[in-house]
Amino acid sequence: MSATVRINPESHRKLKTLAEELGASMPTVLEQAIESLRRERFLEQASRAYGELRSDKKAWAAEQAERKAWDKTLKDGLGKDWRWQLRCAAKCGW
């Protein structure tokens, strides 16, 4: 489903130029721009939330303790050649 969105002429010119430079359609470039902004906002919000968490010493200590507990599971089930197994899994796309 498509919809019509009104933008000012200057924005339209910029969108058209970007589309030409990228060899893509204007709707595709617009979709990419929207997704990029969505991701940027997500990361800003996550950063802000972690900043707030870090400012609370008790909550941050609890977070660090939880991370330490989860770190023990990273090699769960791997043999003594775990580094080789991870490299092999990465190369094979496992």
Give per-residue pLDDT as tens, 4-23.
Answer: 999 999 999 999 999 999 99
CB atoms within 10 A of CB 29: 19
| Helix ranges, the chain (H) | 9-22, 26-55, 57-71, 82-92
Residue at token pair 């609890």: 62
Domain residue spans in the chain?
A: 9-74
Q: At what angle do helices 26-55 and 57-71 cross, to 10 degrees?
A: 110
Q: What is the pLDDT of residues 33-45, one digit of tens each?
A: 999 999 999 999 9
Residue 69 is predicted with a pLDDT of 86
pTM of the model: 0.65
pLDDT of 70 higher than 90: no
Which is nearest to 7 in space by CA: 89, 40, 15, 42?
Answer: 15
